[in-house]
Structure 1
Amino acid sequence: MSDVTILAPSPTLTVTVEDHPQGSEIHVHAGGQGVWQARMLRRLQVPVTMCCVLTGEVGRALQHLLEDEDITVQALTRDGRGSAYVHDRRGGERIVIDEERGDPIGRHDLDDLYSAMLSSSEDSQVVVLSGPAGEETIPADFYRRLAIDLRAAGKTVVADLSGERLRAVVEGGVDVLKVSHEELKADGLVTVTTDDEIIAAMQRLRADGAGAVIVTRASDPLLFTDGDRVIAVSPPPFEENETRGAGDSLTAGVIAGLVRGEPLRDAITLGAAAGALNVTRHGLGTGDADLIGSLRTKVTVREVPRRDAEGREQEGRVSPDGLAALADPEEDS
């Protein structure tokens, strides 16, 4: 039994060449959004099942790599080209040697993947909908239907998506939606990434079907709302080594908090700590659980003042006790 089930339609086999005193060092891992989320959840001692389609030789290698990380894998296997990349980081920068997004998932395999998600999530508290390796891998409506059925089954549904899949899952209804400010702009939901425009977009997403919205903003404080109030969450700053995977680590940290029974406004601080630590590391979705817990105490939270149509700050209470007061559900009633 897993506390969390993750939809990771097309995991990626990652091959990265790094510098070593004796020459080149080649690292082979499972990767992709859902994998990085699952890896961080396992670091935080949360049991995870990952539903995916594993394709060809790449898929057979991925199966072993995922199981070696103590991730329960519910996989459909097929012939064809799987998702994989080869990157060269010997010079410090990531240089793409080759990337393959893999073959789209066919109709019959999609039906089986849908059934696998419903079956695997029966005993899970939280279900995570993550994106595929390529835009053509899986249709957006798959996410809309799955969100509807999972929530009808009483599951907490978390989505970390963009583009058509974001719109689909919001239409279906989602408890927690995480998106970056760059994705909001690319999707046309904001024209400039000011606080006011992002907050307006967050409220529109909530009106359209998202229960709570988290917007990450690179090194700037992330924004979170599950109602009229918006809070800004600032993790401790670190020198960046690798920014990829930080958002997925954040999502995993939030989910770990929810599984432990924390209110969402508390769980966001665990996510912020996990994401902050991940930027210091080469390994994506990695980090020490004790260190993440320590960093959590250094995460700061403040309420973002609301503004009227003329841009003037509205009068409102800013909690002197930070997150503890903001997290009190009695104050929202």
Structure 2
Amino acid sequence: MDAKVVVVGSLNMDLVARAQRLPRGGETLAGDSFFTVPGGKGANQAVAVARLGASVAMVGNVGDDAYGQQLRQALEVEGVDCQGVGECPGVSSGVALIVVDAASENAIVIIPGGNGLLTPESVQRFDALLQGSEVIICQLEVPIETVAWTLARGHALGKTVILNPAPATGPLPAEWYPHIDYLIPNESEAEALTGLPVTDQASAQAAAERLRALGAGKVIVTLGPQGALYVDGQGARHFPATPVQSLDTTAAGDTFVGGFAAHLANGFPINDAIVFGQRAAAISVTRAGAQPSIPYLAELAP
């Protein structure tokens, strides 16, 4: 059976340290706890799709180390199709070093490892997966030429193409925008893409309209506790967030993207898909870690 959603992106092992606050430059802090957990934006989003009700395949790379085996197994346990997950000999798997403070803010350093070797040719080998899908999701933790190829291919195939531009360090290449059906940045990513400050609904709308003017089909700016702003050719709509006590925001955006994509792939209207993604993300921030924080469909029952 074809997977309704294909995620082309990163797989990382997250090495997570919790401390009362984030260290300053040159400072050594005593931490509170440490754990390792499967992550990477691509893998997180694939797990979210699987847990939240849609079939999903992952296309990405791991290294030939113990982390690589664990990352693949973590996806397979969730029912993710891993035929497109390659192993790169002599290379480490991707690793994310994460520090989380008492206020649930985090600082992250990412070592790409095998993710950096995901080429357009690597993805093209699994073109049948793209052809059989309904929704294709990309992020920015793999080489930009691979993202560019996948966006263009997804558009050419007539699929629903989602780009979560994370991590964003500046504007996207202009030729990408017409290939994107849904561009889903958070506040800082929207700011990086447009150069406009994004702090509230009004500034988020200005940034989203700039991105649509560049060619993106529809834009959803996720605003954390301020909810999400959806902008299309008919205007803007704000979706308030579900109030929760936040423990760890790691993978909240990935959970939203995965839940949104799963609902779209299952034929739900856009508004319903946004609310569903928000409900899933609200649960995820009450839990620690990346993939362990992502809820299952049964937890979102009305």
Equivalent residues in 2 for 1:12-31, closer than 5 Å: 12-16=12-16, 27-31=35-39
Equivalent residues in 2 for 1:43-192, closer than 5 Å: 43-57=51-65, 58-73=67-82, 74-79=84-89, 80-85=91-96, 100-102=111-113, 105-106=116-117, 110-132=119-141, 137-138=142-143, 140-161=144-165, 162-163=168-169, 166-167=172-173, 170-192=176-198
Change (3 A) 1:84 1:168: farther
CA deviation profile, 1:301-327 (whole Å, cap 9, x unmatched) = xxxxxxxxxxxxxxxxxxxxxxxxxxx
Change (3 A) 1:99 1:182: closer
TM-score (norm 1): 0.74
CA contact (8 A) 1:13 1:29 kept: yes
CA distance in 2, matches of 1:201, 1:208: 11
CA deviation profile, 1:6-50 (whole Å, cap 9, x unmatched) = 011x3101244789xxxx987543211111111121111211100
Structure 2 residue aligned with 1:201:
207
Deviates more, 1:116-125 or 1:85-94: 85-94
CA distance in 2, matches of 1:11, 1:165: 24
Q: Which amino acid aligns with 2:276?
A: L
Structure 1 residue aligned with 2:281:
275
Change (3 A) 1:41 1:26: same
CA deviation profile, 1:210-265 (whole Å, cap 9, x unmatched) = 11100011211210012232111013200001112111111111112111211212
CA distance in 2, matches of 1:60, 1:29: 13
CA distance in 1, matches of 2:129, 2:70: 22
Structure 2 residue aligned with 1:251:
257
CA distance in 2, matches of 1:75, 1:290: 28
Q: CA deviation at 1:168?
A: 5.5
Deviates more, 1:88-97 or 1:77-86: 88-97
Give % identity: 24
Structure 1 residue aligned with 2:23:
none
Change (3 A) 1:234 1:77: same
RMSD: 3.0
Deviates more, 1:190-199 or 1:30-39: 190-199
CA distance in 2, matches of 1:125, 1:142: 19
CA distance in 1, matches of 2:189, 2:261: 21
Q: CA deviation at 1:192?
A: 4.8
Structure 2: where are the runs of 5+ without partners?
A: 20-31
User: How many residue pairs were aligned?
Assistant: 282
CA distance in 1, matches of 2:234, 2:69: 48
CA deviation profile, 1:48-94 (whole Å, cap 9, x unmatched) = 10000112313233222322222111122212122124557798978
Higher RCO structure (Cα 8 Å, ≥6 apart): 2
**Residue 223, structure 1, aligned to residue 229, structure 2:** yes
Q: CA deviation at 1:152?
A: 1.3
TM-score (norm 2): 0.81
Change (3 A) 1:17 1:110: same
CA distance in 1, matches of 2:108, 2:223: 29
Structure 1 consecutive aligned stretches of length 4 or more whose deviation exceeds 6 Å: 88-98
CA deviation profile, 1:99-142 (whole Å, cap 9, x unmatched) = 63326735xx514323035232121111111231xxxx51x243
Q: Which amino acid aligns with 1:83?
A: G
Which one has the largest radius of gyration? 1
Structure 1: where are the runs of 5+ without partners?
A: 295-333
